[in-house]
Structure 1
Amino acid sequence: MSSFTKLTYHAVWSTKYRKPIIVDSLRERLYEYIGGIVRQKDGVLLEIGGIEDHIHLLLHVSATQTVSNAIRDIKANASRWVNELPEIKRRFEWQKGYSAFTVSYPQLPKVRRYIINQRKHHRKLTFAEEYRSFLKRHDIEFDPDRLFEDEHFG
């Protein structure tokens, strides 16, 4: 008997300190590069979107990969690639951590629309509010004081 899987996740993470650094001139190239990373690991990127301070991916992860390894590879390779671009003047970094939620096949169109409509969605809601609502909706316990890294001065 053969084995068959289709492991689909909605993954979300932000830029370091939620800085708005995924600007228009970078966004499309970054998304294409991330798609290449996913394909290189035998995954499928179904949708990608976000705004300046965070990113959403809807992706199939290969059965030979853990979701944590897949996201680690995406984040590490994408940030390395961005930092090698000549027009990047300050260091590009992702926030530590991520969230990933399983998505059932019938829910794919709904999650895809959600990701496509990020700009419209964030006219009403900040990333931090959105992120907290995802965690609550999926019954994930978290310490609100330790949810995000904050930039410290001095």
Structure 2
Amino acid sequence: MQTYKSGSHTRYDIKYHIVWITKYRRPVLEGSVAERTRELIRQICMQNEVTIIKGHVSKDHIHILVSSNPSLSISRLVQKLKGASSHKLFQEYAHLRKQYWGQHLWSRGYFVATTGTVTDEMIKEYIANQDNELPDDDFRIGS
């Protein structure tokens, strides 16, 4: 059975697959920098009550699958992950400051996709079977 998390007035299961890259795709996430990056991401997630289900630090990008609560938007989460990790890594590794003289370790964008146990087809079928009224395109009014 599905395990849902609970808030004061909510039950939820929200998972995101997030990917972001280093600026210019430079392969700087190696050795101690990669280990520190992983540690920082874990700390940031823990501070924001985000559970890391799976993660991977590549030389030039990060992949993580996380479970989050509905009060934290995905854009805010990525902002915290990228901002805090970049700030700390620049403080601790002088060679990064030389490579990224503009103080931007991460590229501007990111990729995110939601995951879940319910497919689009299942939701469409559920919505379609709510009432037996006459359909009006794909958006119906029930009785």
TM-score by length of 2: 0.67
Over 3 Å counting, the alpha-carbon distance change for 1:36 and 1:56 in structure 2 is: same
Three-state SS of the structure 1 residue aligned to 2:95 is: coil
Answer with 1 or 2: which has the greater Rg.
Answer: 2
User: 1:107-139: CA deviations, max 9, x gaps?
Assistant: xxxxxxxxxxxxxxxxxxxxxxxxxxxxxxxxx
Q: How many residues align?
A: 106
8 Å CA contact 1:10–1:100 kept in 2: the answer is yes
* Inter-partner Cα distance in structure 1 for 2:88 and 2:82: 10
- Confirm or deny: 8 A CA contact 2:22 2:107 kept in the other structure: yes
More helix by share: 1
Matched, 1:56 2:68: no
User: Is the 2:34–2:57 contact (alpha carbons within 8 Å) kept by the matching residues of 1?
Assistant: no
1:84 aligned partner: 91
| Identical amino acids, percent of aligned pairs | 26
Moved over 2 A (4+): 86-92
Q: Which moved more, 1:23-32 or 1:35-44?
A: 23-32
Looking at secondary structure, tell me which structure has more strand per residue. 2
Q: Deviations over 1:32-76 (max 9, x none)?
A: 110110111111111210311111011012211000110011000
Aligned to 1:101: 113
Equivalent position of 1:44 in the other structure: 51
Unaligned runs of 5+ in 2: 1-7, 119-143
Q: What TM-score do the two structures reach when normalised by structure 1?
A: 0.63
Task: Give how far 1:105 is off.
Answer: 4.8
Corresponding position of 2:21: 14
Counterpart of 2:73 in structure 1 is 66
**Structure 1 unaligned runs (5+)?**
107-154
Change (3 A) 1:4 1:15: same
Q: 1:12 touches 1:98 (CA, 8 Å); kept in 2?
A: yes
